[in-house]
């Protein structure tokens, strides 16, 4: 810690001023609580300092943090890196940003202690990835999805936001596995992961939660940079689950048109999915309730012939087909 | 990085929506008086500008909504550098009583018409551009403080206990 003296500013304005006047290597910005001002704060920090800007995010803030550190041709890169709390301050100076080398020129050259620390950090992050990522598809795993959904629901309770859960699986997946082999089955799962990720909005969180079962958490994006947060929230609330439905339908269509050579000449257009959608707060208040409702809708979709996505409707017993 | 201009002349930092009448008026006024105008969208950006001023003279003119962010901390930071502030109180938008009080206690001028800013600007240009920093509540006489609060409450349409 002696190597990395640290100033803490409890007020954002103090932090920007300190950044403008101080000689910092790294500026850490706590995302929690900055909400709609985050875009303005990061812009001001960029103006104030050439130091690396690192976002200190909670798990549910990761999609936004990831977007803010990703360079977009049409959008200024707002921050250089992010870390998910809890964290160690030393990690600021050892963790390279996306596409960067291991250290910035200003960073002191690593001594034995830093080398150990960097190695430790690398291992911790590797373990974090193992704990939260599905190895086969690269999507988030069941544990992450449930934890993330729990945090987002907690936030939505406070802000009046809405959350929609989509649970889907691949129709007749066992058949493909048995007939074409497990390697083909794995490839189908990988293709499904790529397609669903492509169809979703950047902040939606996609995971594989079982064999051929996937989940998507659609949620309001309170950190949308440069937008009117209140208007967006109202809009998102009004559109839920319409937005989720349109994403689900787009994915269903794309998946159905996917050309999978591993399935032979007839591989194009044979794959279908079935799914269920459930929304907070209408269909459930907790993660368990939403998963239960979405699973019920999925089962009903299967019973009624597959290749369809059902939305839990009102009253609860009424399952409406989205077609 | 902030305040990248090489000139050392006085500068007016204008804080608010760059498309608003207030900001456009202030930028025009500053230029008419041959003072560099630096528009800033918000208080955060303005603080970044302040940080890069060094010894340069500056006047901050901004909307009450922006300058009272973070519980009036902006005024305290400006006062640290003895930078004069002028708040535009747009009566069409809500302004918190606490924010107005913090502006007054910091010695900021409060105006309700963009045209009034010219007086503030010429006065600032006429003197050395600096003034004593933030006033502590105890520095105000009780009667002064009560009068100020009563006036502000009346302006904002609040009832007072006085």
Predicted pLDDT at A269: 64
- Asked if B45 has any chain A CB less than 8 Å from its own CB, the reply is yes
Which domain covers residue B68, as residue numbers? 11-133
- Asked if A50 has any chain B CB less than 8 Å from its own CB, the reply is yes
Would residue A212 show up in a list of annotated catalytic residues for this protein?
yes
Asked if A222 and A161 count as a contact pair (C-beta separation under 8 A), the reply is yes
How confident is the model over B13-42, as a mean pLDDT? 91
- Asked if B2 has any chain A CB less than 8 Å from its own CB, the reply is yes
How far apart, in whole angstroms, are the C-alpha atoms of residue A287 and residue A293? 10
Predicted pLDDT at B135: 47
Mutation site, A10, A21, A40, A45, interface B, largest B CB count within 10 A: A40
- Asked if B58 has any chain A CB less than 8 Å from its own CB, the reply is no
- Paired tokens of A243: 């937005």
pLDDT digits (tens, 9 = 90+) for B72-119: 889 888 888 889 999 888 766 656 677 777 787 778 888 888 888 888
* High-pLDDT (> 90) share of chain B, %: 22
Asked if B161 and B153 count as a contact pair (C-beta separation under 8 A), the reply is no
- Paired tokens of A265: 């000449």
Between the CA of residue A295 and those of A39, A163, A319, B114, what are the distances in Å? 38, 16, 12, 60
* Rg of chain A on CA atoms, in Å: 22
The reply to whether B33 falls in a domain is yes
Question: Given a cut of 60, is residue B6 above it in pLDDT?
Answer: no
Residues of B in contact with A44 (CB under 8 A): 42, 44-45, 47-48
Contacts of B100 (CB under 8 A, 6+ apart): B64, B68, B87, B89, B110, B152, B155, B156
Residues of B in contact with A16 (CB under 8 A): 44, 47-48, 51
Q: Is B41 helix (H, G, I), strand (E, B) or coil?
A: coil
- The pTM (predicted TM-score) of the whole model is 0.57
Residues of A in contact with B102 (CB under 8 A): none
Read off the CATH number of the domain in which B67 is found: 3.40.50.2300
Q: Is A26 helix (H, G, I), strand (E, B) or coil?
A: strand
Q: Could you please report the per-residue DSSP string of B98-125?
A: HHHHHHHHTT-EEESSGGGHHHHHHHHH
Q: How confident is the model at residue B149 (pLDDT cuts 50, 70, 90)?
A: low
Contacts of B131 (CB under 8 A, 6+ apart): B82, B84, B107
pLDDT digits (tens, 9 = 90+) for A100-155: 443 333 444 455 555 656 777 777 777 888 888 999 999 999 999 999 999 899 88
What residues in chain A have per-residue pLDDT under 50?
Answer: 1, 88-91, 93-109, 225-238, 314-319, 323
User: Exposure of A299 by Cβ count < 10 A (0-12 exposed, 13-18 middle, 19+ buried)?
Assistant: middle
According to DSSP, the β-strands at A163-170 and A273-280 are: antiparallel
According to DSSP, the β-strands at A309-312 and A273-280 are: parallel
Nearest-CA distance B81 → chain A (Å):
12
The reply to whether B63 falls in a domain is yes
Residues of B in contact with A49 (CB under 8 A): 1
Q: Is A75 helix (H, G, I), strand (E, B) or coil?
A: strand
The reply to whether B144 falls in a domain is no
What's the angle, vertex CA A13, arms to CA A11 and CA A19, rounded to 5?
105
Q: How many domains does chain B have?
A: 1
Mutation site, A15, A17, A35, A41, interface B, largest B CB count within 10 A: A17
- Nearest CB partner across the interface for A44, out of B45, B70, B74: B45
How far apart, in whole angstroms, are the C-alpha atoms of residue B47 and residue A12? 10
B35 secondary structure, DSSP code = -
The reply to whether B97 falls in a domain is yes
A97 secondary structure, DSSP code = P
Predicted pLDDT at B156: 60
**Residue tagged active-site, from A134, A212, A220, A221:** A212
The reply to whether B47 falls in a domain is yes
Q: Quick check: A17 and B77 CB within 8 A?
A: yes
According to DSSP, the β-strands at A319-321 and A309-312 are: antiparallel
The reply to whether B5 falls in a domain is no
The reply to whether B107 falls in a domain is yes
pLDDT higher at B99 or B62? B62
Residues of A in contact with B70 (CB under 8 A): 11-13
Interface of A with B in 281-320 (CB under 8 A): none
Asked if B64 and B100 count as a contact pair (C-beta separation under 8 A), the reply is yes
The reply to whether B6 falls in a domain is no
Contacts of A114 (CB under 8 A, 6+ apart): A3, A90, A93, A94, A108
Tokens 């939606």: give the residue: A204
What domains can be seen in chain A, in order of their start residue?
12-132 (3.40.50), 142-321 (3.30.70.270)
Predicted pLDDT at A312: 75
């Amino acid at each position: 810690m002696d190597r990395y003296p640290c100033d803490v500013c409890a007020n954002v304005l103090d932090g920007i001023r300190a950044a403008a006047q101080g000689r910092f290597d790294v500026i850490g910005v706590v995302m929690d609580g900055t909400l709609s001002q985050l875009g303005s704060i990061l812009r001001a920090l960029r103006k104030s300092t050439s130091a690396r800007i690192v976002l200190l995010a909670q798990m549910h803030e990761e999609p936004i943090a990831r977007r803010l550190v990703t360079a977009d041709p049409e959008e200024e890169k707002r921050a250089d890196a992010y870390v998910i709390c809890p964290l160690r301050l030393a990690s600021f100076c050892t963790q390279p940003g996306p596409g960067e080398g291991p250290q910035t020129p200003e960073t002191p050259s690593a001594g034995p202690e830093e080398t150990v620390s960097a190695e430790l950090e690398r291992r911790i992050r590797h373990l974090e990835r193992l704990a939260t990522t599905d190895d086969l598809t690269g999507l988030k795993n069941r544990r992450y999805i449930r934890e993330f959904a729990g945090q987002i629901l907690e936030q939505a309770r406070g802000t009046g936001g809405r959350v929609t859960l989509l649970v889907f699986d691949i129709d007749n997946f066992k058949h493909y596995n048995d007939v074409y082999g497990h390697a083909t089955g794995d490839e189908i799962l990988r293709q499904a992961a790529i397609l669903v990720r492509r169809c979703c909005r950047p902040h939606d969180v996609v995971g594989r939660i079982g064999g051929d079962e996937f989940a998507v958490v659609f949620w309001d994006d309170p950190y949308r940079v440069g937008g009117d947060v209140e208007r967006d929230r109202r809009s998102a609330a009004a559109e839920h689950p319409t937005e989720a439905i349109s994403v689900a339908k787009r994915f269903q269509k794309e998946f159905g048109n996917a050309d999978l050579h591993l399935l032979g000449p007839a591989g194009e257009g044979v794959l279908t999915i079935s799914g269920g959608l459930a929304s907070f707060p209408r269909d459930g208040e907790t993660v368990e309730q939403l998963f239960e409702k979405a699973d019920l809708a999925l089962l009903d979709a299967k019973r009624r012939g597959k290749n369809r996505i059902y939305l839990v409707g009102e009253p609860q017993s009424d399952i409406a087909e989205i077609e | 990085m902030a305040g990248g201009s090489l000139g050392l002349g006085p500068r007016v930092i204008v804080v608010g929506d760059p498309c608003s009448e207030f900001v456009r008026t202030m930028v025009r006024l500053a230029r008419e008086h041959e003072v560099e105008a630096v528009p800033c969208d918000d208080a955060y950006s303005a603080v970044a500008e302040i940080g890069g001023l060094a010894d340069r003279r500056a006047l901050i003119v901004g909307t009450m909504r922006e300058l009272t962010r973070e519980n009036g901390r902006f005024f305290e930071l400006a006062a640290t550098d003895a930078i004069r502030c002028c708040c535009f109180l747009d009566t069409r938008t809500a302004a918190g009583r606490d924010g107005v009080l913090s502006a007054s206690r910091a010695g900021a001028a409060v105006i309700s018409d963009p045209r009034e800013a010219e007086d503030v600007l010429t006065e600032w240009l006429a003197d050395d551009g600096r003034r004593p920093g933030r006033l502590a509540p105890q520095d105000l006489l009780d009667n002064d403080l009560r009068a100020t609060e009563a006036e502000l409450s009346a302006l904002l349409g609040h009832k007072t206990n006085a």
